[in-house]
Structure formats: C-alpha cells, structure tokens
Amino acid sequence: ANATQRPPRGPAKIQRLGHVVLQTTKYIESLNWYLEHLGLIVSDFKYYEGQRERGPTMSFIRCDRGMTPTDHHTLAMMLGPSSRYVHSAYQVGDLDALAAGGEYLRELGFYRSWGIGRHLEGSQIFDYWRDPDGLLVEHFADGDLFDCTLEPGWSPMTASGLAQWGPQATKDFLGLAPGRDALHELLSMARSLREDNEFDLTRLRGLLKVTSS
C-alpha cells in the first residue's frame, strides 16, 4: 500500500544471453556438426510447406543437461541463401522490463523491428529492435524449459506461425523491407542457386511461400 506498482523507467537489466540465430546455405551439414561436436539436441524442426519429405529447413536446438531443464533453444539455425548471423536474444526479468527497456532503446535511436508478442516455439515474450547500424537484437522473458526426454516437434514454417499473439511479423523482421539488407539477400539468392549447397530452386520457392503465409 501507498506505493506504486510500476518499476522505474530505464534500460532493461539483462540477465544473460539466451540464444543466437544463424542462417546457413548448408543447414543439414551445420546441424549435424553442432549435434555431434557440442552435444546439443533438437527441440523443434521447421520445414517448408509441401516439402517435409525433403527434411527440415530450421531447427531450435538446446543444451543436453540430462534431466535438468534447459532453455528451449540456445541456438536456432535455418537454411537460407547466405551464411550469416541473424540475431542474438537477451533475457530480461518480465514484461515490464521488456517494454520499458524498449522505450529506452527508442530514445537511443533504435527502432522496433517486431513486437511485442509471444513466440510459439520457445513461448518467449519477445521484442525485436534494430540499432542505428541495423543490427537486430531481441529482449525476451518467460521462455520454456525442457529436459532431455522431450521429443523434437515438427511444424511447417510460416510467417503467421512465428507468434501465438502479437502483431504480424514485419517486413523488416522477415528481411523484406527495402534497403541494403534486402538487396544483399536478393544478390545472395542469385549467387547461391549457382553454387553447391542445399539452397536450390525448390528451397527458394519454399522460402518465398513463408513470407506470405
């Protein structure tokens, strides 16, 4: 009583690095390397609609600590036209910290790429921001924890399936907003189709469906 519930406005207190997301033109080869050499295990597989028989094109991967629960994913990796870093995610205490921290980032010249919402895979409440140089970062809270007994899930990769609730995934988040990054991905697509990797014409058609699904 006689005190406000709202926390002071300011930068979000980062508790820890939660996960990193990578894109690669050799997804299966890279996935197998992480599973074999680092002992990671898969929480969820995603595949392009109509292409499940060709196998997954994205995976959410967690640490194997036996019966000790760990984050749904420490690494997420996807097939794409170029091999690159996508974003890193940082855990904060709760929704207040996430939302107030976003306002602080806005004051520093960051702009919101996508959020606030709650993911399906991992269940995190999320908020994505780009810094003035275009680097994508995520604040998250309230994510899933699983032990080694969980079997991997399988589901189609769709833009609408990225969140349980929240705004529709933006063109910026999906890499479709006009600008240097989108041009780079377009050039990468043309180059990748000529090279020896997993990103072929069929996979390109599957990726294009994701952005409109």
Provide the terminal-to-terminal Cα distance of the chain, rounded to the nearest Å.
49
Read off φ and ψ for residue 156, nearest 5 degrees: -70, 150
Q: Which of 31, 38, 91 is nearest to 65 (CA)?
A: 38
CA 101 to chain centre: 19
Q: Is 173 exposed, middle or buried (0-12, 13-18, 19+ CB in 10 A)?
A: buried
CATH number for the domain that contains residue 45: 3.10.180.10
Q: Does residue 1 lie within any of the structural domains?
A: no
Tens-digit pLDDT profile for the chain (213 aa)? 888 888 888 899 999 999 999 999 999 999 999 999 999 999 999 999 999 999 999 999 999 999 999 999 999 999 999 999 999 999 999 999 999 999 999 999 999 999 999 999 999 999 999 999 999 999 999 999 999 999 999 999 999 999 999 999 999 999 887 776 766 777 777 777 778 889 888 998 999 899 888
Pinpoint the alpha helices (H) of 25-157.
27-38, 95-107
Domain count, the chain: 1
Query: What is the pTM (predicted TM-score) of this model?
Result: 0.91
Question: Domain containing 168: what range?
Answer: 16-211
Q: Does residue 9 lie within any of the structural domains?
A: no
Q: Does residue 10 lie within any of the structural domains?
A: no
